[in-house]
């Protein structure tokens, strides 16, 4: 998620359940008739897997994907958000090296399908919550002959992922819960949107409030959002001064994910979303002091005097 709800000083790159024990080696079925390559994966679903690479064997040149545990619920499709724990490796003729592990970091990763390297997009297509997926991704479906130094991937490296899928959020996902009373007079009014579209926001013809204002429009029934959780959400942001939309996950056609409280998002989001129940729709009226301050955010058209109005649907928290 790269929109203006992020804090102005930090940016993050992108990658990347029920207990079950998986103790058998995994045979990755090669695509297009290629020879199978055996990678051993052991460990409990939801815990860091033990991945063993074959000795003195180079990775095959075709994509190979294996689902160890099938999961339940809707299957991920292009534009959906997949939240998963994962471990990722690079693999070449010289051996393998672990590049990343959310199990060690203690927090899952959000994958926005349709924006990843092609092989990972294909591996997550059809994924369901509770699934464990193993993918061997050749260079032609990863970072090619150039590699990517920012991800420690060298030229010609294959990638191997083991992913434990926590949740799948469809691109049409929205708040779910009981509708609350209309917002107080003097605050923006939020209409009922069509499925998959942003709620319409009407700005009153009045001066904006000078302090953060929060209103729960739909009361969810899930757990309360905590600081430092990865939160999946839909959102739209409009200017108080003219009602124009400056950023929206509904407009981009895919849900977003942010970590609340580690500097990723503006303070108005931290103060307004922590403690809210998952499934809620929340109206936030954010004064400049809790948004982008006197400098604003020029690339988004945000002035130093702008009060920002957000409607946020909290889809999940991990």
Query: DSSP for 176-208?
Result: -SEE-PPPPTTS-EE-PPPTTSPPPEE--SSPP
Q: What are phi and psi of 207, to 5 degrees?
A: -70, 145
The mean predicted confidence, pLDDT, of the chain is 87
Burial 233-267 (b: 16+ CB within 10 A, else e): bbbbbbbbeeeeebbbbbebebbbbbbbbbebbbb
Residue with tokens 């009981």: 178
Distances (CA, A) of 210 to 183, 189, 279, 298: 17, 18, 28, 22
Is pLDDT above 80 for 205? yes
CA gap 168, 110 in Å, rounded: 10
Residue 181 — very low, low, confident or very high, per pLDDT cuts 50/70/90?
Answer: confident
Is pLDDT above 50 for 303? yes
3-state secondary structure of 182: coil
Beta bridge partners of 284: 214, 310
Q: What share of the chain is helix, strand, coil (3-state, %, to 5)?
A: 10, 40, 50
User: In the numeric block, which tokens belong to residue 169?
Assistant: 């959020």
pLDDT, tens digit, 9 for 90 and up, residues 83-93? 999 999 999 99
Query: Quick one: average pLDDT of 290-309?
Result: 94
Query: Quick one: average pLDDT of 50-74?
Result: 90
The percent of residues in the chain predicted with pLDDT above 90, rounded, is 72
Is pLDDT above 80 for 183? no
207: region left, alpha or beta (phi > 0 left; psi from -120 to 50 alpha): beta
Residue 177 — very low, low, confident or very high, per pLDDT cuts 50/70/90?
Answer: confident
* Number of neighbours of residue 38 by Cβ within 10 angstroms: 12
Is pLDDT above 80 for 300? yes
CB 124, CB 118: distance < 8 Å? no
CA gap 246, 239 in Å, rounded: 7
Is pLDDT above 80 for 264? yes
Query: CA-CA-CA-CA torsion for 238, 242, 246, 250, nearest 10 degrees?
Result: 50
Q: Which of 86, 98, 91 has the alpha carbon at shortest distance from 15?
A: 86
Q: What are phi and psi of 85, to 5 degrees?
A: -90, 145
* Number of neighbours of residue 56 by Cβ within 10 angstroms: 6
Beta bridge partners of 82: 111, 168
> What letter would DSSP give residue 287?
-
């Amino acid at each position: 998620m790269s929109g203006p709800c992020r804090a102005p000083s930090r940016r993050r790159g992108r990658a990347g359940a029920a207990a079950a024990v998986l103790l058998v080696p995994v045979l990755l079925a090669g695509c297009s008739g290629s020879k199978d390559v055996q990678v051993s994966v052991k460990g409990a679903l939801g815990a860091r897997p033990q991945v063993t690479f074959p000795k003195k064997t180079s990775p095959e040149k075709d994509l190979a994907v294996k689902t160890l545990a099938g999961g339940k619920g809707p299957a991920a499709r292009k534009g959906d958000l997949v939240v998963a724990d994962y471990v990722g490796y690079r693999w070449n003729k010289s051996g393998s090296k672990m590049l990343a592990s959310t199990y060690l970091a203690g927090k899952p990763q959000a994958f926005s399908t349709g924006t990843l390297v092609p092989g990972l997009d294909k591996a997550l297509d059809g994924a369901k919550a509770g699934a464990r997926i193993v993918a061997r991704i050749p260079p032609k479906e990863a970072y090619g002959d150039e590699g990517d130094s920012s991800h420690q991937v060298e030229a010609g490296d294959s990638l191997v992922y083991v992913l434990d899928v926590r949740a799948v959020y469809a691109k049409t996902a929205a708040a779910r819960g009981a509708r609350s009373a209309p917002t107080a007079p003097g605050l923006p009014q939020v209409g009922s949107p069509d499925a998959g579209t942003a709620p319409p926001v009407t700005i009153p013809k009045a001066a904006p409030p000078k302090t953060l204002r929060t209103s729960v429009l739909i009361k969810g029934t899930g757990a309360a959002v905590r600081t430092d959780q990865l939160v999946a959400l839909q959102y739209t942001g409009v200017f108080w001064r003219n009602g124009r939309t400056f950023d929206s996950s509904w407009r981009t056609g895919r849900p977003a994910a942010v970590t609340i409280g580690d500097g990723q998002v503006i303070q108005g989001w931290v103060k307004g979303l922590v403690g809210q129940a998952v499934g809620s729709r929340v109206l936030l009226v954010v004064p400049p002091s809790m948004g982008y301050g006197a400098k604003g955010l020029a690339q988004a058209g945000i002035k130093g005097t702008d009060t920002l109005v957000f409607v946020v649907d909290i889809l999940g928290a991990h």
